Amino acid sequence: MNKDMQQYLDKAEVLIEALPYIQRFNRKIIVVKYGGSAMVDEELKARVIQDVTLLKLVGFKPIIVHGGGKEISRWVGKVDMKPEFKNGLRVTDEATMELAEMVLGKVNKSLVQLVESLGVRAIGISGKDGRLLSVKKKYANGEDIGFVGDVTNVNADILYDLLEKDFLPIICPVGLDDDNNTYNINADDAACAIAKAMKAEKLAFLTDIEGVYKDPQDSSTLISELTVSEAHKLVGDGYIGGGMLPKINNCIEAIESGVSRVHILDGRIPHCLLLEIFTNKGIGTAILNDSERRYYDGE
Amino acid sequence: MNKDMQQYLDKAEVLIEALPYIQRFNRKIIVVKYGGSAMVDEELKARVIQDVTLLKLVGFKPIIVHGGGKEISRWVGKVDMKPEFKNGLRVTDEATMELAEMVLGKVNKSLVQLVESLGVRAIGISGKDGRLLSVKKKYANGEDIGFVGDVTNVNADILYDLLEKDFLPIICPVGLDDDNNTYNINADDAACAIAKAMKAEKLAFLTDIEGVYKDPQDSSTLISELTVSEAHKLVGDGYIGGGMLPKINNCIEAIESGVSRVHILDGRIPHCLLLEIFTNKGIGTAILNDSERRYYDGE
Amino acid sequence: MNKDMQQYLDKAEVLIEALPYIQRFNRKIIVVKYGGSAMVDEELKARVIQDVTLLKLVGFKPIIVHGGGKEISRWVGKVDMKPEFKNGLRVTDEATMELAEMVLGKVNKSLVQLVESLGVRAIGISGKDGRLLSVKKKYANGEDIGFVGDVTNVNADILYDLLEKDFLPIICPVGLDDDNNTYNINADDAACAIAKAMKAEKLAFLTDIEGVYKDPQDSSTLISELTVSEAHKLVGDGYIGGGMLPKINNCIEAIESGVSRVHILDGRIPHCLLLEIFTNKGIGTAILNDSERRYYDGE
Amino acid sequence: MNKDMQQYLDKAEVLIEALPYIQRFNRKIIVVKYGGSAMVDEELKARVIQDVTLLKLVGFKPIIVHGGGKEISRWVGKVDMKPEFKNGLRVTDEATMELAEMVLGKVNKSLVQLVESLGVRAIGISGKDGRLLSVKKKYANGEDIGFVGDVTNVNADILYDLLEKDFLPIICPVGLDDDNNTYNINADDAACAIAKAMKAEKLAFLTDIEGVYKDPQDSSTLISELTVSEAHKLVGDGYIGGGMLPKINNCIEAIESGVSRVHILDGRIPHCLLLEIFTNKGIGTAILNDSERRYYDGE
Amino acid sequence: MNKDMQQYLDKAEVLIEALPYIQRFNRKIIVVKYGGSAMVDEELKARVIQDVTLLKLVGFKPIIVHGGGKEISRWVGKVDMKPEFKNGLRVTDEATMELAEMVLGKVNKSLVQLVESLGVRAIGISGKDGRLLSVKKKYANGEDIGFVGDVTNVNADILYDLLEKDFLPIICPVGLDDDNNTYNINADDAACAIAKAMKAEKLAFLTDIEGVYKDPQDSSTLISELTVSEAHKLVGDGYIGGGMLPKINNCIEAIESGVSRVHILDGRIPHCLLLEIFTNKGIGTAILNDSERRYYDGE
Amino acid sequence: MNKDMQQYLDKAEVLIEALPYIQRFNRKIIVVKYGGSAMVDEELKARVIQDVTLLKLVGFKPIIVHGGGKEISRWVGKVDMKPEFKNGLRVTDEATMELAEMVLGKVNKSLVQLVESLGVRAIGISGKDGRLLSVKKKYANGEDIGFVGDVTNVNADILYDLLEKDFLPIICPVGLDDDNNTYNINADDAACAIAKAMKAEKLAFLTDIEGVYKDPQDSSTLISELTVSEAHKLVGDGYIGGGMLPKINNCIEAIESGVSRVHILDGRIPHCLLLEIFTNKGIGTAILNDSERRYYDGE
């Protein structure tokens, strides 16, 4: 057999290796929190969209929840806004919220456009559409920081209906409170709330870190698998801090509400989603039920 | 019977008068081009949204297509953009298109929010979602004026699917060309293309005029009903000009493609939609098939 | 704005006022016991039918249960029957039952005809069709008074199937016992049994009184809202007597079986159904759950 | 094998013989015009109802259309009506129509009751329900004979919907004209119109004659099978007269409109319907397409 | 009435007698274990197939599970195999299993062919298709006797799906263990497992005996009805032995798992299935719930 | 990036490359004629089954039609049959047909077993099940060669029903004639008939040759793409002979009946199906419509 043919056969083998994964996640809901570098770098962006589109095509039900942080900052500068502060905390006033919604909307449609360009049916909505995300005002240390909200309800029927009609939903984290005011929602929180409401099979966070470390100073202490109990202990013992703390708490909450697995992935690695799902290459940190560990080992 | 009771009975009679109209348009698609004053004046805006929501609740299938002209201009000022011109024509360059899409997205979600606040399921999409609107570049007198498009295809399945799931679709007129570039579409054109693709029962334009005049200088020459033949003749005889000409051509095209009736309504009159549909009060100008006139007379 | 236009706008406002009610009762089942003057007076009859037809068209699921008392008496006279008595009680013998069924059938089809003439799909059935109403003989103070029955079972599937096929069911209160004998059923009882079996949102009795009075001698003591506890107390305290007693007991039973609200309406007021449902004009007496009062107040 | 067992085996063989017929008419619509002696004699009545119920249970879709002639006459006498005549023709005035509708309604429900007592879901409707039968006034030799109608439209959807919900529809031949007046319809005409509208597989008339004779004076000239051409010829040649003429014309019309076979059965023979359908015993006269004869021969 | 006609009427009466049975078992699942003489004798075979086909056509949902014992022995001889023995027990080695599967497959398709020749949709599958039957190795007195399996799981969805698509499933008792090895299953066991998994209304064993005897030596002690308690007692008291013991245990297990009735029928009687189901002729022994006896008596 | 990670990324890229193919054939029917070496060599067999299973999992609708030639010959030897000959042609007599059906059945279930072991729902049927394949006797040069049949009808509904229930159908080429005799069918013919009846997107023949040659003596003349016109010409010019002639005629017929593409693949290459579908590596010869060539070029 010549070398050329061998290459093709190798390709065929890769596809065949994907078989058991395609089967395991058939018709399963996978919520992807999309943010960080993977959203800024055009190359990485294209990879993420390819990954999610492939997941859809082979029979999974992916849902994207995206943020838009850096692009919002860029526009705040562009329109020359004066940020408001209260006790040292930045406040999302009405004007900022208006601009943030515009920017998130733009980002949202640009993702729709990328998925559609690969020939897959996408729909971009915010938490306002079908009142998907109801919120109440979030207080930071008791401080009113404006239109920042905590999710109080996810209208999961909206997503079930869109999935049934074969759409790939792409969601920007904006919601309404009981008085119909517009609120910004932390994208991690929104993704977590949606994954919980839909009892997703997987919730994957695309981040700018390699995963969870036992000792953040020492990259060799990366944890590839973490049960909920272990996570609780790490938090209790004070190992987890900074921006990672709310993320880990989200993960714990998600697992405890019925999500099967949560992944903190390194979005800077191209195709990290595919690698996590279709290969035995451990990417980042997986959080799972105490009882799940053995099960996966035996597979 | 006391006066108070009489008032209530009068109200009941109004509802009963609506019976035949509710029946006639049951499950019929009504496309509303929403723009002009009715979109700027908050009072009028609330009325339009109430009207459309009522239409939905009593069993019709309304679809809103909106513009966002004045708001776009406001933002162009805000971000201090320099408009580009070519041979005296304003050009929609990439930056303008980006901003326009943001503003249209904001307007879109604000309409969703209003409908949702009345308890009806709305979904706000653009022509990118599900690739609803495919376009090609429009040339003005042979001149390339940037990212302004003509609709080449409406993916009606998207709207049928959303209607089946009981959404009230609210559409902003942005589309994609074959190379996945973003284009602005004239909202009248978009509404007309959608009404044609869905063989809507009605297409209603909310405008800032009373309707079509035989002599625009003389408000007593308002035409309340116009057959397609008469419209062709008016155009041919040069009576129609200015901004009204493309609108009338859109109307003619819509009727000739299977839309039953097109209405040019005065959006400055509160509840003009309800008045047109539920009463025999002629509001604005109706364009209809030559063969339809008698039919409606006989009702 | 001229006066003519103002009138039209007022009409539009009436329709808009109906919005929250149309929403609240969307797809809800409303059982209407139709009888009394509203069935004899042709003018009132037309109004009731218009009301029910409108309820159907705006998305509710009304079911009519009708009596036929006066018309039956008229025919008993016409065919020169000798009424049978036992211990002073009128007995429904076989011949009377045969005639009663014929008259009820006639009344039934005349209502179907009226609804159909308004363009809505109606179907007139008795408790025999699909064995909708099973009965056993009712004894009045231990006395056998012939073919008068108590409902022992409602075959609700029949009505669900007809509602699913978009029929407005019109039911005459005739049923079958286990030996397939034909029985007359008190229309109030039949309506109550059906409302309970279908967990109706509302059960409305069209009567010839204004409502329930604390003191029947004093029309100023009309009670507009009554919780089940209060109703029990009124009955216990002996305030309720005569024909009202079984009606109130029916109401209590209905609420306790899951019907949300029961209304004793004054059928002599035109459009009393619409007024009750679409306005805040209190017509007659509403019986509701103890826990419901606050809820409705807060709306 | 003992004699007792042999009897049982014979029974089993009868069931097995029914196999090909059960297959051939599976899910096929069979319209039965029910009238004459088979409706008066209680014994025969029970047999007809058993037959139709069996047809339903083994998977056919029977529809009964019934008359009520003799019972109507009985009641006309009972209420002491004065028949009106015009040029020697009896006129169905309003009072007669009212009574006829009542009697037909009674007959209708008694048939429902019989079918239900055998445990099969029946529904009794008239041509008013769902406006099943639209009519216009029929003139006898140009004479207005009152409320007697010709069917102008059958709303077949009503019957399809009821069949889908597994009802056995039992229809009394009363209809509405465009002004919502009630009309009597000849039951043969109604059955024929319904069979045509539903492209029934079979239309069977239960009559009080043995079938069609070549020479009505000579019972040995009974015709067991008649093609449409032959029927046309018999009529043309004047062999058919009296009450048989409209019946034969109905048959011809039915076949020419797509009904596969029409049967004129002798309703005085118990189980004539079963015998016709499940055995090769020729009962009465079958009218069929010219091209059908050979097909059936070859089976 | 002549004698010929009388015969036909008698036939009609037989069909009418079947009415209540057709009703009682409408859409009910009936599992038939088909084996013994009824499978060898061509005449009896035709009768069984006619019976099952009729059951299907009148609305029941029969499922056939067949053996193939004698035909397998014939082929073992034909290919000149040497049977293997272990401690006196015949062992199903791989070669025997291969041949058995081939023969069972042939028998399976010949039954499909017979049903299809009667015009009914049949599908022949083994326990491998859709992994209908999962097994584990069965040990006879602790002895490994080769590829003989006990059913550990029935994938009932497979049969529901085939029934929904209107197939008559014909199943040969071959299954797979967790390592995808092929196993033979005793047909009685397979039928019992399937009846239990589908909560069948009836499970009927076609056997070569008249039924269960109190005293196998005395044919006058045939038991026509046996409650589970009585069966337990008979077994406990040692009355049941030989090949009947596992059969009775199967019966008890089936009833205790929700099957309504189990029948041990004498397959040597033509149409024994029809006789059992459609007549009051007791064929063989019925095993039923303790609480069922009275219920059936009262019918 | 280390080498290990690079390998994983390469794998991800292979999956991404499959995207457009997965999309193009989504829900498309692909008929695979499975035979030759790929059926004898266990290694190749496993590859084919993996390929087909993958096709199913990523959303295609594959159908396998298999032969069993060599295995049949082996068993003919085993049971020591005497082949019958007529004018030098081997005759499929009844005994041979019986054995062939048994062997084909065995092969069929072994393929079901392989697919099921990969976790995909398979069902193995022959042309008898649901009377999928109707045949008439085939004459070779006018000679009766026994039970060898030509397909006269494919009951495609059977396959649509099984596909709807998510089965992967595996078909052995045995059919029934009008007298319910069993016939062997050439597997190529059966596959072709099925592909035509279902308007398959693709029909792929797994063969033991590299493809079609212009000059069979010269392996450098392999044709990778052939339009129907070119195929007709090659046949007309006498370039095609031997076993290839009927195969090419089957291909031409398939294309002309609506199959989009037919492939003659070299089954000796592992994963030849995947390579053909998911890569641009030309495997074997593709036969296509004259108008198709350009279309594919442009992709």
Physical contact, E and B (3 or more Cβ pairs within 8 A): no
ipTM given for this complex: 0.93
- What are the structural domains, with CATH classification, of chain B? 26-288 (3.40.1160.10)
SS3 F214: coil
Q: How high is the mean pLDDT of chain C?
A: 90
Three-state DSSP class for residue B201: coil
Residue in F27, D272, B63 with CA at minimum distance from that of residue E5: D272
Work out the angle between the directed axes of helices C94-117 and C42-57 (0-180°, nearest 10): 60
D194-204 per-position pLDDT tens digit: 999 999 999 99
* Residue at E39: amino acid letter: M
B58 → closest Cβ in C11, C58, C275? C58
Amino acid found at D274: L
Distance CA B200, CA B28 (A): 7
Nearest to A270 by CA among F22, F17, F14, F13: F13
Handedness of CA F16, F17, F23, F29 (dihedral sign): negative
How confident is the model at residue A1, as a pLDDT?
55
Beta-strand relationship, C261-266 and C202-207:
parallel
pLDDT at E229 over 50: yes
* Cβ burial, residue D253 (10 Å; 0-12/13-18/19+): middle
- Contact residues, chain C, for B13 at CB < 8 Å: 271
How far is C-alpha B67 from the geometric centre of its chain's CA atoms? 9
Nearest one of E135, E151, E262 to E197, comparing CA atoms = E151
A116 has a chain B CB within 8 A of its CB: yes
For residue D74 the two structure tokens come to: 């009985």
Q: What are phi and psi of D259, to 5 degrees?
A: -70, 135
Given a cut of 70, whether residue E295 has pLDDT beyond it is: no
Dihedral angle sign, alpha carbons of residues A140, A142, A143, A144: positive
pLDDT confidence bin for A296, thresholds 50/70/90: very low
Q: Is A298 exposed, middle or buried (0-12, 13-18, 19+ CB in 10 A)?
A: exposed
pTM (two decimals): 0.91
For residues F282 and B212, which has the higher predicted lDDT (pLDDT)? Answer: B212
C-chain residues near D78 (CB < 8 A): 79
Query: Least CB-CB distance to F128: which of E102, E113, E182?
Result: E113
**Which positions in chain C touch D109 (Cβ < 8 Å)?**
101, 105, 126, 128-129, 174, 182
Instruction: Enumerate residues 188 to 217 of chain C having a beta carbon within 8 A of any beta carbon in chain D.
Output: none
Q: What is the CA radius of gyration of chain D?
A: 20
Q: Which residues contact E205 (CB under 8 A, 6 or more apart)?
A: E33, E35, E188, E191, E247, E251, E262, E263, E264, E265
pLDDT at E165 over 80: yes
The strand ranges marked E within chain B are: 29-34, 61-66, 84-86, 89-91, 122-126, 133-140, 143-154, 168-172, 174-176, 182-184, 202-207, 212-213, 222-223, 225-227, 261-266, 285-288
Torsion region of D166: left, alpha or beta (phi above 0 gives left; psi -120 to 50 gives alpha): left
pLDDT of residue F1: 55
Partner-chain residue, chosen from F112, F130, F180, that has the shortest CB–CB distance to E129: F112
Tell me the C-alpha distance between D102 and D95, whole Å: 11
pLDDT at C298: 35
A148: pLDDT strictly greater than 80: yes
- First CA to last CA distance, chain D: 34
The pLDDT score that the predictor gives to residue B293 is 62
* Residue type (1 letter), F13: E
Q: What is the mean pLDDT of chain A?
A: 90
Exposure b/e, B126-147, CB count within 10 A at least 16 = b: bbbbbbbbbbeebeeeeeebbb
Which residues of chain D lie closer than 8 angstroms to E270, CB-CB? 9, 12
**DSSP letter, residue A33:** E
pLDDT above 70 (res A295): no
Q: How far apart are CA C31 and CA C196, in angstroms?
A: 10
Pairing type for strands F168-172 and F61-66 reads: parallel
- Note whether D touches A: 3 CB pairs or more under 8 A: no
D74-100 per-position pLDDT tens digit: 898 888 887 777 777 778 999 999 999
Q: Could you tell me which chain C residue has the CA closest to the CA of D79?
A: C79
pLDDT band at B70 (very low <50, low <70, confident <90, very high): confident
| pLDDT range class, residue C7, cuts 50, 70, 90 | confident
Quick one: pLDDT at residue F3?
Answer: 76
Residue E144's SS3 state is strand
Mean pLDDT of C188-197: 97
Give the integer Cα–Cα distance in Å for C10 and B11. Answer: 9
Answer whether B57 sits within 8 Å of C58, measured CB to CB: yes
B101 in contact with chain C, both atoms CB, cutoff 8 A: no
Q: Looking at residue B1, what is its pLDDT? A: 55
Residues of C in contact with D102 (CB under 8 A): 102-103, 105-106
> Do the chains contact at E109 and F174, CB–CB below 8 Å?
yes
Instruction: Decide if F123 and E125 are in contact by the 8 Å CB cutoff.
Output: yes
Please report the pLDDT score of residue C1 as a whole number: 55
Q: Does A166 touch chain F (CB under 8 A)?
A: no
Note whether B162 contacts A: Cβ–Cβ < 8 A. Answer: yes
Chains A and B touch (3+ CB pairs under 8 A): yes
For residue D121, what is the nearest residue in chain C, using CA coordinates? C130
Average pLDDT by consecutive 10-residue portion of chain F (299 residues)? 79 89 93 93 94 94 92 87 76 93 96 96 98 95 91 98 98 97 96 97 94 84 92 89 85 94 94 88 87 51
Residues of E in contact with D210 (CB under 8 A): none
Taking only the tens place, the pLDDT of each residue in C94-133 is 999 999 999 999 999 999 999 999 999 999 999 999 999 9
Which segments of A are annotated as binding site?
Answer: 68-69, 90, 184
Interface residue of D11, D27, D115 to substitute, partner E, most E CBs within 10 Å: D11
In this structure, of B99-108, C70-79, E39-48, the range with the lowest mean pLDDT score is C70-79
Contact: C180, D113; criterion CB under 8 Å: yes
pLDDT at residue D80, as a whole number: 82
C203 neighbors C31 (Cβ within 8 angstroms): yes
Question: C29 in helix, strand or coil?
Answer: strand
pLDDT of residue C296: 43
> Which positions in chain F touch A20 (Cβ < 8 Å)?
119
Chains A, F: CB pairs < 8 Å: 102
Instruction: Give the chain D residue nearest E25 (alpha carbons).
Output: D57
Residues E241-263: what's their mean pLDDT? 91
* Residue-level pLDDT at B238: 84
Q: CA separation (Å) from E90 to A255, E87, E135, E172?
A: 54, 9, 20, 21
Instruction: Using CB atoms, pick whichever of F5, F59, F279 lies closest to residue A8.
Output: F279
pLDDT in tens, A3-51: 778 888 888 888 888 999 999 999 999 999 999 889 989 999 999 999 9
Phi, psi of B135 (to 5 degrees): -135, 165
Say if residue D294's pLDDT is above 50. Answer: no
Mean pLDDT over the full length of chain D: 90
- With contacts defined as CB-CB under 8 Å, which chain D residues touch C172? none
Judged by DSSP in three states, A188 sits in helix
Q: Which residue has the higher pLDDT, E244 or A117?
A: A117
**Residue D153: CB atoms within 10 Å:** 14
Chain F CA closest to residue A283: F5
- The Cα angle at residue F25 between residues F9 and F67, in degrees rounded to 5: 105
> Treating both helix axes as pointing N-terminal to C-terminal, what angle do E228-236 and E244-256 enclose, rounded to 10 degrees?
150
Task: Work out the percent of chain B whose per-residue pLDDT is above 90.
Answer: 66
Burial per residue of A132-167, b for 16 or more beta-carbon CB atoms within 10 angstroms, e otherwise: bbbbeebeeeeeebbbbbbbeebbeebbebbbebeb
Looking at residue E1, its pLDDT comes to 55
Q: Which residues of A touch F271 (CB under 8 A)?
A: 9, 12-13, 16
**Mean of pLDDT values over B207-235:** 89
Q: How many CB pairs under 8 A join D and E?
A: 104
